[in-house]
Chains A and B, each alone.
Chain A
Amino acid sequence: MPAEDRRDPESLVRRIREGDPAAEEELVCRYRRPVALVLWGARRDPPAIDDLLQETFRIAIEKVRAGDLRQPDRLSGFLCSLARNLAVGHFRKIAARRITGPPDERALVSPEPSALENLLRSERAAIVRRVLSEMRSERDHQILFRFYLQEQEKAEICRDLGLTSLHFNRVLFRARERYRALYEEAERKAAG
């Protein structure tokens, strides 16, 4: 099969329907990242994301195998909606259990980070400090702090600091890209 065909969602759906296990694996590999992001966007609860991720692919593969996916070219949209609905359902269940049922055992797990997490966090914190130190302007620091940490509206920050929308975007873009470069450099060093 030509490479282009293999990337085509319709071809992937067809192969899953035909019982090709490699196609199922490919589905998971290809869509794991966006599904995880959608689940994170809905719940922001890492332990639940792992469970929901598995559940999303289990249901998706069952439906595709059974031919329930009517529009194979809409595979992405189908997975996206499925992940979102599962996350919302899970959230409702948890909320109902909090009101009527026994306490969630996850609440008993210590929220403290492990030693490894602490180490990784301190390394990443060093990268962030480097990004900030490279931003000489106090105003740029303020933009990052107020937007990312205080979660203030862009319009409000621009008004307070007398900034244009373009300048604001540039600061955010520059910080984000510098962070990306430093982070990748740190990862390369750690790997090599």
Chain B
Amino acid sequence: MRPDDAPLTTMEHQEIDTELFAERYVAGELAPEEQARFEEHFFDCAKCMETIEIVRRFRDDLSGAGVSVASSMPLRSRVPTLLLAASLLLAAAGAAYFYREDRDTRRELAALQGTSAKAVQHDREARSSETAGPLREAPLAATVFTLNLTRNAGSSGPDNRVSLGAGPHWLVFLFDEPEGRYSGPYRARLATTDGRPVGPPVDAASSSSGMLAASFLSTDLAPGDYALTVETASSGEPAPPVTYRFRAVADRVR
């Protein structure tokens, strides 16, 4: 085997480092001819072989270390996720409260309210840094809706129904990640069916169910038909946007 400091005939280490060959090899991103060239190089290069093995292990371990999307997002993007998580937990704890009125559940609920309040506080801070305008009161409750893709909306309108309910609360929409090579991040844009935007676009966060989630304030919506468009949030290879249509209704759907 060639010693580490021996001259390289087919590939220079500077190029290997600059072009991240080891990382791209492990990710399966090298073009076939690049891959063949790199393989012939590392066959005789102990240093590159070791780097590939380290990168491979690190990548595997990173994915197994419970590193979530949320913990790797900047705080500004993380706030809606924190809110979503806290609100979902709050909603779940609230349901449990009605079924089992025991002390533990009450305690849990109180703790979750504290978590949610903290998230709201974060949200206020983030919003105040973005806009100088007055803050809106952020609600503590959330209702979760799963949106399905429907090809043709019949005369009765979109199949998806969303109850706006009473009082301000978060409307959390769950939907499938768009198919294709692109793996996020995504942004969700809500608009009326005649194209009027409803609030600013929000980040679509991964939820524990493997779906994407985006949350909007119920007070921003009036009864009517809406389109939630999910699109790529980065400027790389774009994935085609996916649009979910739903009808917001004032009362609970029977």
A interface with B by C-beta (< 8 Å): 7, 30-31, 33-34, 37-38, 40-41, 44, 76-77, 79-80, 84, 121, 124-129, 131-132, 138-139, 141-142, 144-156, 159-160, 165, 169, 172-173, 175-176, 179-180, 183
B28 to chain A, nearest CB (A): 8
- In the complex, what residues of B have CB within 8 A of residue A147's CB? 23
| Stretch with Cβ within 8 A of A (4 or more), from B64-72, B118-126, B168-176, B210-218 | B64-72
CB pair A141–B234 under 8 Å, yes or no, is no
Q: What is B's interface to A at a CB cutoff of 8 Å?
A: 1, 17-18, 20, 23, 25, 27-29, 35-36, 39-40, 42-44, 49, 51-67, 69, 71-75, 183-185, 234-237
List B contacts of A146 (CB < 8 A): 72
Residue of B20, B235, B236 near A172 (CB, 8 A) is B20
Instruction: Contact check, B54 vs A37: say whether CB atoms are below 8 A apart.
Output: no
Given contacts A77-B40, A156-B234, A160-B234, contact A150 B58 (CB under 8 A): no
Q: Which residues of A contact B66 (CB under 8 A)?
A: 125, 129
6 tightest A-B CB contacts, nearest first: A145-B72, A156-B236, A125-B65, A128-B65, A124-B61, A34-B43
Overall SS of chain A's interface: helix
- Chain A residues, CB < 8 A from B61: 121, 124-125, 127-128, 179
Known A128-B58, A179-B58; further 10 A-B contacts with Cβ < 8 A: A41-B35, A80-B43, A128-B62, A142-B72, A146-B72, A151-B27, A152-B234, A156-B236, A172-B23, A175-B58
A38–B43 CB distance below 8 A: yes
Residues of A within 8 A of B53 (CB): 37
A residues less than 8 Å from B51 (CB atoms): 176
Residue pair B57, A183 in contact (C-beta under 8 Å): yes
Name which residue of chain B comes closest to A161, CB basis: B74
Beta-carbon nearest neighbor of A155 in chain B: B236
